[in-house]
Structure 1
Amino acid sequence: MDAKVSTKPHEMLAATLSQEMAAVNALIRTRMASEHAPRIPEVTAHLVEAGGKRLRPMLTLAAARLCGYQGEDHVKLAATVEFIHTATLLHDDVVDESGQRRGRPTANLLWDNKSSVLVGDYLFARSFQLMVETGSLRVLDILANAAATIAEGEVLQMTAASDLRTDESVYLQVVRGKTAALFSAATEVGGVIAGVPEAQVRALFEYGDALGIAFQIADDLLDYQGDAKATGKNVGDDFRERKLTLPVIKAVAQATDEERAFWVRTIEKGKQAEGDLEQALALMEKYGTLAATRADAHAWAEKARTALELLPNHEIRTMLSDLADYVVARLS
């Protein structure tokens, strides 16, 4: 009994869907192969085998199982979702000039930027091949839209990240591109291939969208409040990298002229000095923006749980609801 209590929702999902996940992993390995360019499987294996939670493909399998799907296409779609995710990670690390991901050197560091970009392109192409194999134009539409939203979000983030005019609506647009678009596509396609009523397909979309937003807001908050050992990030990395995330956007919106000058210097101009992070945290504390950001994350998690009420009563529905709780439980 105790072992089950301590099991995290994504681990319970992984155990429940273990056979299908094994099929997804086998398909990923098969489709990663390249007869002519051995660099492709080398680079992709480094990322794919890095031991991430595989949350996105798991959401596709979970949605399909929850909706009573009996076929094989959910495995192809879950692999598609993971390929899109992996391609965006490869491209992200080049854009962000990252040296580490999940505690390991990034592909662009081990190989080079060219390899990362080109292998990311290859994975996008592979993902479209897999989508087409399902024979569903609607599935193709959903996943193609998600891929476009992700790319759009990345470009928007590049221009909005250090611009103090960035408000909460632009932040939400970035978050939808960065995280929520693939979560919502992953859950939505599971319902589409199962052929459930339109209201349930919409509910799956809304669950994935809200879960992704809660997940990203929680991540952004943990950057200022998290335990570096648990998160793998140093406190204040986003501040040092001049990223405007929700706690800062909320503080900038309420800033006096003098405080705004501080944000202009540190975020817009990037002229940071000793003690600036402490000053930023003090301003967030003054306006209660960390608490307000936490409340926003919890509200999105609640929205995700509410969306599930339209779906069949099933053990997977309980796990998905628990997952929404778990995403924000890190903040309490």
Structure 2
Amino acid sequence: MIRKKTVQLRQFIGSYVRDQARAGVLPIPFQGAVRAITALPSAANTSIRPIGVVLGVERLLWQGVEQAYPEWDLLFANNRADPDRCVNEIIRLGATAIVGPTARRRHVVALRDSGVNILRLSPAPLPRLTYQGRHAHGYVLEPSTSWMSGRRLSEMEIILTNGSGFMTPAMRADAVVVASRIALSDPTSSTTLVISTSDKSRFSEQEPVTTDFKPLETGGLIETFEASRNNYWSDDSLDRFDAALGRASAVMTNNHPLAVAALLRGARPLVSRRLFLSKLNLYSNTPAERRISVEDPPLVSREELVAVCVLWAARYICEGNLVDPVDFFREKRAS
């Protein structure tokens, strides 16, 4: 039985690596290391690179995305571009469409109808690393669905669900280093933080957070942090979120992506609906739904979560350069 599971896991890993290679990314964890950005695909060093046409990314982020994925020859499209002309140009170039978080629905529909190969570009689950006054901003490129969608399993969930045992001692040691650096300090007040958004959701299961929550186990106040799902990764927004999270002894939300950032930093948010990684029993649900109780243990460790969501899936850029998260936290600030 054990041998059969081992064979099945190897088959899964083999097919996964082949699929990822076709998508233009390199799943280094299955080749012996988690710290993927220390070894870029060989195509990054040649004049022949796959062409990607990027839609739905703010102009201010274009340079960062280009630096994060040097193995791609990236072209950036304006959100006002005509969908049909955009699709025709992608087909003419033999390019891949890379759809960002602010892509217009009409572009997405046109791409789906055309049969063009589509990748999803999103801010990393932990969108920013901070250490000694420096910031590193993270991106994730996925071949099927964005981790921000609650409708289908993302590739990170697939790895965490089916890749049991993939962590080597070296991987775990690296994850421990990063987990300790991003861990939250003890809260400075007894506050329940409610992460909310004013955006209208495209998915029926993702509804706005109501304001009738009661403080949880803290006996303190409720603080509401509101940030758009379309630009919550800006430095100003993340500065405010970090400050609010530092005051919180409990975190609640329905569907905001920042719940994952809080989770990676050591909080265990209460979420009331299907959210990203909730099938892995990583969140606590409100008593009304009982799908995951506060007492249920998580199915993966925090180190495994950090290894997949921060060290493997994400690419981080600091001061114009790709940085390894482990080295980022070990490097001394230049005087």
Q: Which bin holds the TM-score, normalised by the shorter protein?
A: under 0.3
Q: What TM-score do the two structures reach when normalised by structure 2? A: 0.28
**Could you say which structure has the higher strand fraction?**
2
